Amino acid sequence: MSGSAVWRMMSMLATMLSVAVLAGCASQGAAAKPAEKPRAGKSTSAKAAAVVARIIAKPADGAWALVLEGALPSGPSGQAKALNVYLECRDGKWRQAFGESPAWNRAYHKVDAAGLKFEGSALRGALAVTLNPDSWVPPAGKPVACTFDLDAKCDNQSVAGTFKGACGTAAVTGPLSGTITPVSDTLAKSCAVNLNLEDVLTFGQEWKRRIQLAWSVRDGKPQPGKANADLSASGGRGTPTALDADTAGLALTPEALAGEFTFQVPDSKQVYRVRLSGIVVGTHVGGTFEGKGGDLVLKPGGFTGSIVPQAAGR
């Protein structure tokens, strides 16, 4: 069901409940003695309004994709970068969230949406984000704590507003935009999955250590996957080298991605075994990994990616 449909259904329910409350109170009033004074407390209309407010003041179920423009400063001479935040709402509650900023770095970022509140059609409150480093950004190589205060309006399936807050020690402010799309419980049964994993390989320059992993799910069954890495000397701009990969141990659901995959670099006897633990928000996926490359323990890292719907049977 779309966000707009959910909103219309909630509004109709609120109206019906309000009428029922008023009608019930009116019938009770007709049976009461004329001389009886009203009891102290909330009026009938106030009670009805409170009930309606409790129903309406819930975020629409679905996958929320927010863009905070200029949330991540890139230094005195650089241009601020956008932060993408993905949140899943089910039964009016925030279930899980994560972030990414491909223009800033290639890491998976932790997001805590517990401070966000939904009032009428307004989305307000604090969004706590921990920016994880990749091999280049931030230069110190340490996580950066951020807090953003959101003030936005939701109209059917779109979100628009502003944010302000702090990214590390830097004060930031800017526009906010986003979309709300239905969560599909069938997406994980027929789709293609594409992941980017940073700093996986145990050798070479930074760009040689990342891999791309791809596989598909057909009618609920995982299909053979493939992986590749840039092992050239061209600074991450060379022709990718195919890696012998086995993705049969990975499991995708509408809310999570978990399991283990293996791969081997050509002309090497070293087998990598990598365990993924990720969350799914709509068509976005992100999380962490750990594992071993031969006898070497991998440095824990993160991954982000996308899920592309495919027709059943393809």
Q: Please tell me the distance from the alpha carbon of residue 285 to that of residue 193, in angstroms, as a whole number.
A: 9
Q: What is the pLDDT of residues 149-186, one digit of tens each?
A: 999 999 889 999 999 999 999 999 999 999 999 999 89
Domain locations in the chain as residue ranges: 3-56, 62-181, 187-309
pTM above 0.85? no
Burial of 159 (0-12, 13-18, 19+ CB in 10 A): buried
User: What ranges in the chain are assigned the alpha helix state H?
Assistant: 3-31, 44-56
DSSP 215-265: EEEETTEEPP-EEEE--SSSSS-SPPEEEEEE-TTEEE-SSEEEEEEEEE-
Q: Please tell me the distance from the alpha carbon of residue 69 to that of residue 51, in angstroms, as a whole number.
A: 36
What mean pLDDT do residues 264-282 have? 94
Q: What is the mean pLDDT of the chain?
A: 84
Q: Which amino acid is at 71?
A: A
Q: What is the pLDDT of residues 40-61, one digit of tens each?
A: 555 556 655 544 444 444 678 8
- The CATH T-level fold of domain 187-309 is Porin (2.40.160)
| pLDDT above 70 (res 2) | no
Q: Please tell me the distance from the alpha carbon of residue 248 to that of residue 234, in angstroms, as a whole number.
A: 32
Among 103-107, 117-121, 307-311, the least confident range: 117-121
pLDDT at 131: 97
Helices (H) then strands (E): counts for the chain: 2, 20
**Between the ranges 72-81, 143-152, 234-243, where is the mean pLDDT highest?**
143-152
